[in-house]
Amino acid sequence: MAKAIKTFLWIGCAAAFLGCATTRPAGIDVGQTNQSAVAKRIDPNKPAQNKVVWERQNYDVYNPTDTPALQTFTGHSDRVHSVAFSDDGRYVLSGSRDKTVRLWDINTGKEIRQFTGHSNWVRSVAFSDDGRYALSGSDDQTVRLWDINTGNEIRRFTGHSDWVNSVAFSDDGRYVLSGSGDKTVRLWDINTGKEIRQFTGHSSFVNSVAFSDDGRYALSGNADKTVKLWSTQTGDKMALIAKNVQDRLRTGYAALTDIPPPSLPEAPVLTKSQFETKAEFQERIDRAAAEREKQIEQVQERYRKAVEARNLERQTYIQTLPQLREALLSEEMAKEFGDPALRDFIYDAERRIAYVTLYADRGGFEQRVEFAIAPKEAQDMFNRLDEVEALVTFAIKNDAMELSDIRLRYGSFSEAVASVSRSNFKSEPIKVALKDEKINFDAPVLQNPNLIDRFAVKALRFQGDEQDDLSPLIAQAKQAPIDPKKWLFVVAVEHYDETDDVIYAKNSAEAFVKAAQKKLGIDDRHTYSFIDDRATASVFDDHLKRFLANVQKGDSIYFYYSGHGIPNPSGGEAYFLPKDKVVDYVTKEQNLMATEVYNRLSNSGAKQVIAFVDSCFSGRTDNISNFKGVAAGLFKIKRPEFDRSKMAVITAGTSAQFSSAHPQKPHRLFTYYLTRSLLENDKLDLDLLYKKTASEVKKVSWQKGDIYLQEPTIEGNNKLEL
């Protein structure tokens, strides 16, 4: 339709030009000069009148101001900067300084619809070829797409940093072009509103833009007195393909959403009655905990299975990403480039080699290729080149596509294998993996399969009976002389992001730090303390590295940890759990393995290392499983490896037990007696400190019940000096 209109307009201009001629055409009688030329129909039955007569009406064609308008469209309240015809010639579009775009009926002159939303002058308007959409460019630096039928804004294209002087649709309706006072021309995807490419090079304002009919080129006119021709193809299509693949991969991964955690029964908050003993209250707590554990056991099991299945889907998605990416690229190539085709066939009869141009029928790709073929088949192929089927394969290497295989199939020969005759086609790099997105394909975030239940914490934290008697002991203790060769490294977590809390871990760690500094003579500057919010995974990497760099040969290191100890279900290795890690995936972190941490400590320049670990690495804490829905009793724990001649490790219990909170004190049971023993005895060696602590912990834990039995252990050299 566009070509038909252009032809019509061209003919119209020719007629007007002829109307302005001063010579008399053969067979035409020119009347009065103050009359317009009008061709009269001649009666064929009257030979004397067999001629065309042009008569002039009462206006002068040489003075255009005297020519009356066929239609006047009124309604704008300020200057009109741009107008456009619809392709069918029924409507007119106008853009004005009054910030509106208006649609008019060409026959009646009446306004049909008004498009509002721009916040500044509208400088350019355009109709889509199908007449369904209007486009406008404005001084508000935006390009807007409008629905002709409803007047609604469909899409807004943003990115220009100055007013938009000119806009245009591509003939296929897939792209938009805009030119701006920011000296750029921009190509946009009409479906997404995203900028595909920016054309830069003009030294002044871009005043006008246009598409070629096939959409392969863009044209821009500029205040710098130049017109520039731009290619919209090849690299741009490859970039669009890459973007589409990225979007589809991202969408596919995003569809694998987290499994929503189920609601748990509301946890009761137990209060000790004045008529029940502490032992009776503890029994009531235990009964309530056991009953609740049964209630959530089945819920947890279903949740774990669902989460693990989803995590497997995510991992499988990542593992199959290369194959999936290739499949999507093939689809996008076909969508953007269409079918491969052949042209420009040339045959070298001496060498029996044919040369042909392989190209995309939608443009944007072409490559000269060659292949061996017999003369008779070559002639037949030459005569019917459009019937040859081309099968083209691209390989992905280093995130770029390379033409790797071309096979031609046609009639009398089954298949010819072609090769690139000059140089390999290589597109602009196609980066498909998302490096800066929230979802990182290379390191997907796996969902935590453990439900977090704070019930046990609420039950144990009964108020009124908890008396912190360590604080006065610390205040009364005499300060030992500061020893510049002693260093203390402390990590303790009470409030975890992804699992149950370790109650009183923070309070216990803070008390231990103060007691150790006073009784062992450790300088505050030599103390590296990371408690609760600071106890993230980086502590066991960057901060420990910095700490050990300061330790000199012959120094002594004291290491303290309170928090969850996690066993590897498959290998049995023990791991420390930082605040920000998930129980199920901590075993993927080598630097969090107890053996790794102990070796880094014992392999340092220090002459001795003493570690106090308020954890048992059994997979349970306060009788609550860290791996929900997994039987912790099945774990077999390996003994951590370290230099046993220069290091000793005292833990809160055996690997078959779990560490507990003190039943009457706001502390961890092991740390409470460790700190108390340290404060109450002026002359202690390591072995005696261990025995005093272990004796008290075992006695109090046994009184709570057999399942709470906690027996601290010591490994390594128990003869080290405190």
Contact 321, 249 (CB under 8 A): yes
**Rounded CA gap, 86 and 75, in Å?**
19
Confidence label for 457 from pLDDT (cuts 50, 70 and 90): very low
pLDDT of 570 reads 83
pLDDT, tens digit (0-9, with 9 covering 90-100), for 330-377: 787 777 777 788 888 999 999 999 998 888 766 556 778 888 998 988
Cα pseudo-dihedral 629, 630, 632, 636, rounded to 10:
-170
Residue 345 φ then ψ, to 5°: -75, 130
**Rounded CA gap, 694 and 545, in Å?**
31
Give the pLDDT mean for 459-486: 79
Query: Structural domains in the chain?
Result: 24-68 (no CATH), 80-232 (2.130.10.10), 328-420 (no CATH), 484-716 (3.40.50.1460)
pLDDT, tens digit (0-9, with 9 covering 90-100), for 167-201: 999 998 889 999 999 999 999 988 888 887 788 87
The angle subtended at Cα 701 by Cα 695 and Cα 704, nearest 5°, is: 145
Q: Which residue has the higher pLDDT, 76 or 16?
A: 76
User: Is residue 323 within a helix (H) or strand (E), and if so which, with residue range?
Assistant: helix 321-337
Strands 647-651 and 608-614: parallel
pLDDT of 402 reads 67
Give the pLDDT mean for 575-595: 93
Closest CA to 101 of 56, 145, 53: 145
pLDDT of 38 reads 35
pLDDT, tens digit (0-9, with 9 covering 90-100), for 128-168: 999 999 999 999 999 999 999 999 999 999 999 999 999 99
**Structure tokens given for 352:** 């029996």
Predicted confidence (pLDDT) at residue 228 exceeds the cutoff of 90: no
**Rounded CA gap, 162 and 370, in Å?**
50
pLDDT of 401 reads 62
Predicted confidence (pLDDT) at residue 412 exceeds the cutoff of 70: no
pLDDT of 279 reads 87
pLDDT of 435 reads 36
Confidence label for 53 from pLDDT (cuts 50, 70 and 90): very low
Residue-averaged pLDDT of the chain: 82
Calculate the alpha carbon distances from 87 to 4, 107, 152, 156 in Å: 10, 15, 21, 23
Predicted confidence (pLDDT) at residue 49 exceeds the cutoff of 60: no
pLDDT, tens digit (0-9, with 9 covering 90-100), for 631-687: 545 467 788 889 999 999 999 999 889 999 998 899 999 999 999 999 998 888 999
Within 10 A of 253 (CB to CB), how many other CB atoms are there?
Answer: 20
pLDDT, tens digit (0-9, with 9 covering 90-100), for 278-330: 889 888 888 888 888 888 888 888 998 999 999 999 889 888 888 888 788 77
Q: Which residue has the higher pLDDT, 268 or 557?
A: 557
**Structure tokens given for 247:** 């979007």
pLDDT, tens digit (0-9, with 9 covering 90-100), for 372-409: 998 988 898 898 888 888 888 776 665 566 677 888 88
Predicted confidence (pLDDT) at residue 69 exceeds the cutoff of 70: yes
pTM as predicted: 0.54
pLDDT, tens digit (0-9, with 9 covering 90-100), for 3-40: 222 221 222 222 333 333 333 333 333 333 333 333 33
With H, G, I as helix, E, B as strand and everything else as coil, classify residue 584.
Answer: helix
DSSP codes of every residue in 585-622: GGGG-GGGBHHHHHHHHHTSS-SEEEEEEE---SSEET
Sign of CA dihedral 312, 315, 317, 320: negative
